């Protein structure tokens, strides 16, 4: 992986200004709170592995993390099960939508932890004797990744539960296969609260940097997960993090990432930096249009592409 020697002086406000004229995509209408998002919002932040945080205008706008939570829930499940979670969920890309009603043939496992079925499963196996305890474990773990206390938006969590019919179908399907070993409603509750966690681009960039630093939060110095767990998570982000657009993403951007229907993208360039972009309008794969463009420009400017052989 090429390093990013110019990250400290990189002008994120200039990058943001270059993205603003792009008007493609549409804000999701999956829940009312997301449908109300301002399509003009755009914020960018990055964190180097010595803890230097850089950010643009609107990087402090608060939003729900949604699917960008999946790598971190996967990390907590791996940590809490001593990586035995790898036996409970697959790691292969699907070429399917994130909420496809589909499990691995012959095993009944979710295909990977970056789709909804996988996240329902991983959020059910973190430490905790009941749904409330597991939700609290995830809240504490996400806060450790971010280096600050994060809170859940209760209205968004309620909407996620009430309108999550496909997630409920996936939970019942995994229950019928014997893969999910908690009640379907409990699994939905824990996952909905994880998705409703409030962050901004700065917090999400720190979370990405914690993975990129091998599990140590570069801003607090706290070891959140092991180096092995961080490697597992980043590997799956590279192959599955942008769903059926993951191949195009890795060709164009070349940095492991996770997209989100709230318009957030979190990036982890191992040994280099973490970054986050937030802009609500999405493409057909559910990835932020401006976020994709900004990530590609950032990767090119800082020579972050994993497969680029620079002279």
3-state class (DSSP) for residue 133 = helix
Instruction: Pull the structure tokens for residue 49.
Output: 């592995």
Q: Do the bridges between strand 53-55 and strand 264-269 make them parallel or antiparallel, or are there none, so unpaired? A: unpaired
Number of Cβ within a 10 Å radius of residue 307: 9
Q: What angle do CA 8, 11, 258 make, to 5 degrees?
A: 80
Say whether 154 counts as a known binding-site residue: no
What's the order of all strands across the beta sheet hosting 43-48? 53-55, 43-48, 273-278, 264-269, 257-259
Q: Is 67 annotated as a binding residue?
A: yes
The answer to whether 243 is annotated as binding is yes
- 167 is annotated as contributing to ligand binding: yes
Reading the block at residue 3, the tokens are 């390093």
Instruction: Say how far apart CA 33 and CA 64 lie, in whole Å.
Output: 9
- Tell me: is residue 10 an annotated ligand-binding position: no
| C-alpha span between 12 and 166 (Å, rounded) | 38
| Both structure tokens of 4 | 């990013």
What is the Cα–Cα distance from 88 to 108, expressed in whole angstroms?
Answer: 9
Q: Are 277 and 288 in contact (CB under 8 A)?
A: yes
DSSP state string for 136-176: HHHHHHHHHHHTS---B-HHHHHHHHHH-HHHHHHHHHHHH
- Of residues 153, 162, 151, the one with CA closest to residue 188: 162
Q: Which residues are annotated as part of the binding site?
A: 67, 116, 160, 167, 191, 243, 261
Q: List, as residue ranges, the binding site for substrate.
A: 67, 116, 160, 167, 191, 243, 261
């Amino acid at each position: 992986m090429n390093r990013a020697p110019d990250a400290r002086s990189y002008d994120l406000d200039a990058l943001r200004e270059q993205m603003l004229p792009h008007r493609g995509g549409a804000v999701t209408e999956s829940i009312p709170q997301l449908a109300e998002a301002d399509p003009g919002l755009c914020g960018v932040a990055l964190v180097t592995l010595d803890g230097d945080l850089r950010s643009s205008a609107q990087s402090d706008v608060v939003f729900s993390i949604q699917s960008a939570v999946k790598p971190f829930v996967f990390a907590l499940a791996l940590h809490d099960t001593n990586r035995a979670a790898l036996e409970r969920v697959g790691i292969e890309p699907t070429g399917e939508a994130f909420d496809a009603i589909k499990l691995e043939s012959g095993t009944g496992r979710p295909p990977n932890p970056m789709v909804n079925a996988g996240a329902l499963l991983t959020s059910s196996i973190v430490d905790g004797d009941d749904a409330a305890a597991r939700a609290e474990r995830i809240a504490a773990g996400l806060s450790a990744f971010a280096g600050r206390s994060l809170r859940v938006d209760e209205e968004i969590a309620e909407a996620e539960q009430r309108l999550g019919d496909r997630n409920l179908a996936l939970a019942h399907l995994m229950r019928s296969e014997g893969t999910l070993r908690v009640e379907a409603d409990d699994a939905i509750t824990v996952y909905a609260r994880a998705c409703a966690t409030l962050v901004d681009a700065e917090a999400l960039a720190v979370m990405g940097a914690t993975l990129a630093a091998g599990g140590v939060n570069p801003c607090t110095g706290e070891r959140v997960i092991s180096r092995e767990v961080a490697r597992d998570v980043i590997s799956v982000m590279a192959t599955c993090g942008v769903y059926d657009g993951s191949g195009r993403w890795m060709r164009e951007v070349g940095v492991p990432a996770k997209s989100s229907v709230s318009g957030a993208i979190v990036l982890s360039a191992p040994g280099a930096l973490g970054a986050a972009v937030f802009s609500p309008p999405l493409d057909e794969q559910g990835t932020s249009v401006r976020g994709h463009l900004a990530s590609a420009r950032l990767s090119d400017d800082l020579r972050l592409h994993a497969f680029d052989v620079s002279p």
